[in-house]
A and B are shown apart, each in its own frame.
Chain A
Amino acid sequence: NAGVTQTPKFQVLKTGQSMTLQCAQDMNHEYMSWYRQDPGMGLRLIHYSVGAGITDQGEVPNGYNVSRSTTEDFPLRLLSAAPSQTSVYFCASSSRGMNTEAFFGQGTRLTVV
């Protein structure tokens, strides 16, 4: 019963460092997405994917890259971390269709100093 697995759970980066947040799902979901959660701003969509090889930008894509080489994995890359990227990051997946809810990972708390 793994569902959506995110790693790491916590991370501290220095400004300018790069890192990849990992996300994997075992439910054969076509749709995967990354959100960031900041106080008072809810969950904002960073990037999403509707299938392997297909990605698109969300509301706040700047500073982040994604790729989707397999159905299962959807990593989020920070190329040069900035303090403004300090946030809690959630990965989510779902089946196709407007009536299918998203399943979320446990979140990654990222601090950029």
Chain B
Amino acid sequence: AQKITQTQPGMFVQEKEAVTLDCTYDTSDPSYGLFWYKQPSSGEMIFLIYQGSYDQQNATEGRYSLNFQKARKSANLVISASQLGDSAMYFCAMREGYSSASKIIFGSGTRLSIRP
């Protein structure tokens, strides 16, 4: 069964520093996708970045990058040069299956707080 684990309930980081949010996953399906979402205090869910299980390179989107280590089943989100606006909840999610519309499951999230 698919499972997502985020072991950091909360993190504090100084502004302009880089931060890594941990995510490990479990699946028996060789085809899967990994996602990160941001949820600011206003409550909406914002998609940040995607990594496919067959992707050869780590995904990057602006200041966001995904440190994908397939053998360790980890997909950590790296935010470079953190900003005050990065303070939010961050969720890792996974979807199995290449061609089927399979379910998307989420981890328990990490609350990131950026200190000025």
Task: Tell whether A and B belong to one assembly.
Answer: yes
Which residues of A are interface residues toward B (Cβ below 8 A)? 30-31, 33, 35, 40-45, 48, 50-51, 56, 58-59, 88, 90, 92, 94-99, 101-104, 106-107
Does B43 lie at the interface of the complex (its beta carbon under 8 Å from any beta carbon of A)? yes
User: In the complex, A96→B33 CA distance in Å?
Assistant: 12
Contact B33 A99 (CB under 8 A): yes
Of chain B, the residue at the smallest CB distance from A42 is B108
Contact A40 B9 (CB under 8 A): yes
Residues of chain A with a CB closer than 8 A to B93's CB: 43, 102
Besides A97-B99, A102-B45, A103-B47, 20 more A-B contacts (Cβ < 8 Å) are A30-B101, A35-B106, A41-B108, A42-B91, A42-B107, A42-B108, A43-B91, A44-B106, A45-B105, A45-B106, A48-B103, A51-B101, A90-B45, A94-B104, A95-B101, A97-B101, A98-B33, A98-B96, A98-B97, A107-B44
Of chain A, the residue at the smallest CB distance from B31 is A98
User: In the complex, A99→B103 CA distance in Å?
Assistant: 12
Which of A31, A35, A44 is B101 in contact with, Cβ under 8 Å? A31
Which of B33, B35, B99, B103 is A45 in contact with, Cβ under 8 Å? B103
Does B57 lie at the interface of the complex (its beta carbon under 8 Å from any beta carbon of A)? no
Q: How many A-B residue pairs have CB under 8 A?
A: 72
Of chain A, the residue at the smallest CB distance from B35 is A101
Contact A98 B95 (CB under 8 A): yes
Q: Secondary structure at chain A's binding surface: helix, strand, loop or mixed?
A: strand
Among A33, A42, A58, find the residue whose CB has the most chain B CB atoms closer than 10 A.
A42
**Interface range for B:** 20 to 34
Query: Closest approach, in angstroms, between the C-beta of A10 and any C-beta of chain B?
Result: 12
Contact A88 B101 (CB under 8 A): no
User: In the complex, A41→B105 CA distance in Å?
Assistant: 12
Residues of chain A with a CB closer than 8 A to B101's CB: 30-31, 50-51, 94-97
Of chain B, the residue at the smallest CB distance from A90 is B45
